[in-house]
Amino acid sequence: MPAIIDFSGLPDTGAGPLGIDVATREFLRGFFRHARQNQFACLCPNDKAFTEFTNFAAEENVAASRCTALGRHGADAIEASGVLVRYDPDLVSQAWLRRYHGQRRYSLIGIAHASASANAMQAIGDYVAAPLQSWDALICPSEAIQSAVRHIIDGWCDYLGARFGSPVSCPVQLPIIPLGVDTGRFAAITGETKRQSQRRALALGDNEIAILYVGRLNYVAKANPLALFIAAEETAKRSSRPVRILLNGYFNDDVNEAAFIEAANGILDVAKLQIVRHGDEDFPDGVWAAADIFCSLSDNIQESFGLTPVEAMAAGLPSIVSDWNGYRESIRDGIDGYCIPTTMAPPGTGAEIAYRYFTRQNTYGDYLGAQSQSTSVDVNALGQALYQLVNDDGARRTMAEAAKKRARDTYDWARVIGLYETLWDALSESRMSETEMGARSGGQAFHPSHPDPFAMFAGFATRALGKGDPVQLTGLDWTEAFERIKLKAGLVYSGSLMELEELPFLIGHLEANPGVTVADILGAMPHVDADILQRTLVWLMKLGICRTAPDA
* Span 209-232, pLDDT tens digits: 999 999 999 998 889 999 999 999
pLDDT exceeds cutoff 90 at 505:
yes
Give the pLDDT confidence of 11-40 residue by residue, as tens digits: 665 555 566 777 788 899 999 999 999 999
Dihedrals φ, ψ of 332, to 5°?
-85, 120
- The pLDDT of 151-159, averaged and rounded, is 97
Question: Per-residue pLDDT tens for 316-367?
Answer: 999 999 999 889 999 999 999 999 999 999 999 999 999 999 999 999 989 9
Please state the rounded mean pLDDT for residues 538-544: 95
Residues 6+ positions from 482 with CB-CB distance below 8 Å: none
| Those residues with Cβ within 8 angstroms of residue 206's Cβ, 6 or more apart along the chain or in another chain | none
Give the model's pLDDT for residue 72: 79
Answer whether residue 243 shows pLDDT above 70. yes
Set out the domains of the chain in order of their start, with CATH numbers.
Answer: 4-179+418-433 (3.40.50), 183-411 (3.40.50.2000), 453-548 (no CATH)
Q: pLDDT grade, residue 87 (50/70/90)?
A: confident
Per-residue pLDDT at 306 exceeds 70: yes
pLDDT of residue 17: 57
* pLDDT 10s digits, 282-304: 999 999 999 999 999 999 988 77
Residue 552 pLDDT level (bands cut at 50, 70, 90): very low
Instruction: Name the residue among 432, 188, 394 with its Cα closest to residue 289.
Output: 188
Q: What is the pTM of this model?
A: 0.91
For residue 157, pLDDT over 60 is answered with: yes
CB-side neighbour CA atoms (13 Å) of 516: 20
Q: pLDDT value at position 478?
A: 84
Burial class, 433, CB count within 10 angstroms (exposed 0-12 / middle 13-18 / buried 19+): exposed
What's the burial of 188, exposed, middle or buried (CB within 10 Å: 0-12/13-18/19+)? exposed
What distance in Å separates the CA atoms of residue 154 and residue 168, rounded to the nearest whole number? 9
User: What is the mean pLDDT of the segment spanning 244-257?
Assistant: 95
SS3 138: strand
The phi and psi torsions of 85 (rounded to 5 degrees) equal -110, 125
Q: What percent of the chain has pLDDT over 90?
A: 84
The C-alpha atoms of residue 388 and residue 150 are separated, in whole angstroms, by: 38
Q: Is the pLDDT of residue 193 over 80?
A: yes
Neighbour-count burial of 436, counting CB atoms closer than 10 A to its CB (0-12 exposed, 13-18 middle, 19+ buried): middle
Q: What is the pLDDT of residue 551?
A: 55
CA atoms of 434 and 104, how far apart (whole Å): 10
Query: For residue 226, with 0-12 CB atoms within 10 Å meaning exposed, 13-18 middle and 19 or more buried, which class applies?
Result: middle
Partners of 108 in the beta sheet?
A: 84
Q: Is 408 helix (H, G, I), strand (E, B) or coil?
A: helix
Element (H, E) at 461: none
4 contacts 84 by C-beta, under 8 angstroms: yes
Q: Report the alpha-carbon distance of residue 338 to residue 315 in Å, rounded.
A: 17
298 three-state secondary structure = coil
Residue 18's pLDDT is what?
Answer: 61
Mean pLDDT of all residues belonging to the chain: 93
* More confident position, 23 or 264: 264
Q: Which amino acid would we find at residue 129?
A: A
Q: What is the model's pLDDT at position 524? A: 95
32-49 burial code (b ≥16 CB/10 A, e <16): bbbbeeeebbbbbeeeeb
Q: Is the pLDDT of residue 374 over 80?
A: yes
